[in-house]
Amino acid sequence: MEPRISLITLGVADLQRSLRFYRDGLGLPTTWNGDRGVVFFKTTGTCLSLFPYEKLAEDIAPEFLVPRAKFAGIALAHNIRERGEVDRILAQAEAAGARIEKPAQETFWGGYSGYFSDPDGYLWEVAHGAFPFRPDGSLDIPRSAAGSELDRREELTMPVIRTPDERFSDLPGFPYRPNYVEVAGMRMHYVDEGPTGGASTETFLCLHGEPTWSYLYRKMIPTLAARGRVVAPDFIGFGRSDKYTERSEYSFQMHRDMLAGFLTALDLRRLTLICQDWGGLIGLRVAAEMPERFARLVIMNTGLPTGDEQMSEGFKRWREFAANSDDLPVGFIMQRTLVGGAEVDPRVIAAYEAPFPDTRYKVGAMVFPLLVPVTPDDPGSAGMRNARTVFSQWNKPVQVMFSDSDPITRGGDRFFRNLIPTAKDQPEIVIQGASHFLQEDSGEEIARHIVEFVDRTPA
């Protein structure tokens, strides 16, 4: 038997009631939604399903068709990264119809947890502090010192590679010292410039997209660092951060979890999020789920796709290209996309190619377009819907700033200004003559706009 649990099935008295509880109340996305007499939810790792109790008992054997005891000696668990999330999720469950069996409290094992029961009496523990998380969202339960030889071999052959440091030597306009932090066993690189002390220090969190890295922000860092601390991480699979070589290791959830872990590891707060492309999809989702860490948002050339609307033709062409390519010509993409790309310094194009010596290093970049939710049940769709809900009631300052020459996100600025109430309080800024990668085309101008935005919206 392989060391794997594929499915946990709950026998329920009322399938539609339980579907509403888990899907609508707790926000779990479905793959099958009950029209075939069974419900399957998209969950990380093990799949959760609902099946009518009597049919489940009959499927096993007639003698199992007996009244279910209040406690069957089993409890499901939902472990989370932030202590405050325990109380929030318990309150969410109670609002959806759950019964709180044990309010959140300190535990004997040093964590913080509480229990609720669903409409059929199944017990769920919501817990913080038990174990760290892997990048895919599953628990990283440490092996004992007497782990097997197979365990040790698996650890040694984990499919992770690291771009050689010499690839990053003498990059034009990028004199910044590398910094590293380990998150869920992976080394993440980040630029860290400007003042780092003091509770009143403004911190700018600069998130890149596809297929770039923190080098994209080099023109903005000097101006921002004169106003506050600038932190610009590389996502896993990009820049100087570690890279998986297997496509299956990359997921929207993994990227979300790594960014959340990064913020927690550095304890970053009072953040002004500056995001573009995938930096927006990941960063805005995290901001919606960890709002206490964010003071402002600067949203550029990105979106909150849920799969409920048609994607732009530009994105469809880009996704098709990525899906059907054996390689991703990063330099060619940058040169074709940037305004005046043919005249861009070849050393700059080479700097964008630096993290990717060969195709093994490009797996994360090649997968990224395929992780964008394009159907309502795609992984990531639920997180994007939740972000939309949060931002529709957002009361912190937001500056929307798109470029005028991006075929992929054109019109997205109107979406954000209509969605987020506070976005209407700021001037409508459009960066003229800039492409999808507006930080490269007009970085200095954008940085000045951001400093002005911060100055007029003191936290």
| Model pLDDT for residues 102-157, shown as the tens digit of each residue | 899 887 667 788 889 999 888 898 888 766 666 556 666 554 334 443 344 344 44
Catalytic residue among 277, 378, 413, 441: 277
**Alpha carbon 137 to its chain's center:** 11
Q: Is residue 94 part of a domain?
A: yes
Would you say residue 397 lies in a domain? yes
Matching residue, tokens 């939309």: 388
- Dihedral angle over CA of 333, 336, 340, 341, nearest 10: 40
**Do 354 and 266 share a structural domain?**
yes
Q: For the domain that residue 271 is a member of, what is the CATH number?
A: 3.40.50.1820
Which of 192, 242, 257, 406 is catalytic? The answer is 406
**Residue 44: pLDDT above 50?**
yes
Q: How far apart (Å, rounded) are the C-alpha atoms in residues 126 and 103?
A: 10
Residues 168 and 89 in one domain: no
Q: Specify whether 77 is located in the same domain as 187.
A: no
Residues 442 and 324 in one domain: yes
Alpha-carbon distance of 222 to 450, in angstroms, equals 13
Distances (CA, A) of 242 to 68, 146, 163, 186, 187: 49, 28, 8, 6, 6
Q: Nearest CA to 237 among 224, 252, 225? A: 252
Q: Is 277 a catalytic residue?
A: yes
Provide the domain limits for residue 253.
Answer: 160-455
Phi first, then psi, for residue 436 (nearest 5°) are: -55, -40
Residues 60-114 pLDDT 10s: 666 666 676 666 667 788 888 788 889 999 999 999 999 998 899 887 667 788 8
Residue 426 and residue 309 in one domain: yes
Structure tokens at 77: 């668990």
Asked if residue 133 belongs to a domain, the reply is no
Quote the CA–CA distance of 172 and 175 in Å, as a whole number.
8
Q: Looking at the structure, tell me whether residues 117 and 232 fall in a common domain.
A: no
Domain membership flag for residue 141: no
Distance CA(185)–CA(158), nearest Å, equals 11
Kindly state whether residues 170 and 30 are assigned to the same domain. Answer: no
Please indicate, yes or no, if residue 202 is contained in any of the structural domains: yes
**Residue 401 domain-assigned (yes or no):** yes
Q: Whole-angstrom Cα distance, residue 166 to residue 177?
A: 14
With 70 as the cut, is the pLDDT of residue 367 above it?
yes
Asked whether residue 139 is domain-assigned, the answer is no
Q: Which of 296, 269, 258 is nearest to 455 (CA)?
A: 296
Residues with Cβ < 8 Å from 433, sequence gap 6 or more?
339, 404, 405, 441, 442
> Do 369 and 298 share a structural domain?
yes
* Same domain, residue pair 61 and 195: no
| pLDDT tens digits for range 405-450 | 998 898 899 999 999 999 999 999 999 999 999 999 999 999 999 9
114: CB partners within 8 A, 6+ apart: 86, 87, 90, 100, 102, 103, 104, 105, 125, 126
Instruction: Provide the CATH number for the domain around residue 72.
Output: 3.10.180.10
Q: pLDDT at residue 198 above 70?
A: no
Q: Is 14 among the residues known to form the active site? A: no
372 and 229 assigned to the same domain? yes
Domain end call among 78, 108, 128: 128
The residue type found at 325 is S
DSSP state of 360: G
Distance CA 431, CA 446 (A): 8
Catalytic position from the list 128, 189, 255, 436: 436
Q: Does 406 participate in catalysis according to the annotation?
A: yes
Q: How many domains does the chain have?
A: 2
119 and 187: one domain? no
Output the CA angle 45-52-46, nearest 5 degrees.
5
Q: Where are the alpha helices (DSSP H) in 290-344?
A: 313-323, 330-337
Whole-prediction pTM: 0.69
In a domain, 93, yes or no: yes
Looking at the predicted structure, is the pLDDT value of residue 199 above 70?
A: no
User: Does 93 lie in the same domain as 191?
Assistant: no
